Amino acid sequence: MDQAGRQRIDKWLFFARVLKSRTLAAKFVAGGNVRVNRDKVDQPSFAVKSGDVLTISLERRILVLRILGCGHRRGPAPEAQALYEDLTPPAVPADRMVPGKPAEREPGSGRPTKRDRRKIDRFRFSDPDS
């Protein structure tokens, strides 16, 4: 650990097993894919501490993690999971989507416009209970 309970963000991501290597973690942070307390971070040397909230944009999902402590090594998974609290909101379950056939359009009407697409999404993902 560095100064008073702080650790480089690339080391923390590696120790917490968010990314497979420290080099990958450094490139990931430099690419602007990590926010600390809602502020975008692009320096792998940025120091994080307990209580910071990380928002991590992975390829197909977004993770929200609260740091509980700094790591000393890349240990087993239970040790890595003790470094953070997962605040990621749950994904929308497949049963919430409205089943059925895709929306039909008249032949020759072209592709849906942005407005049409929003209406389709609003219909498909609407809350059936409300």
Residues 6+ apart with CB under 8 A from 77: 17
Listed in order, strand segments (DSSP E) in the chain are 7-8, 34-36, 39-41, 47-48, 53-57, 62-67, 84-86
Is the pLDDT at 126 greater than 70? The verdict is yes
- pTM recorded for the entire structure: 0.70
Pair of tokens at residue 57? 């944009």
What value does the CA radius of gyration of the chain take, rounded to a whole number of Å?
Answer: 21
Alpha-carbon distance 21 to 33, whole Å? Answer: 16
What pLDDT score was predicted for residue 45? 96
Higher pLDDT, residue 90 or 17: 17
pLDDT in tens, 74-109: 999 999 999 999 999 887 676 666 566 666 778 888
Q: How confident is the model at residue 2 (pLDDT cuts 50, 70, 90)?
A: very low
Higher pLDDT, residue 124 or 28: 28
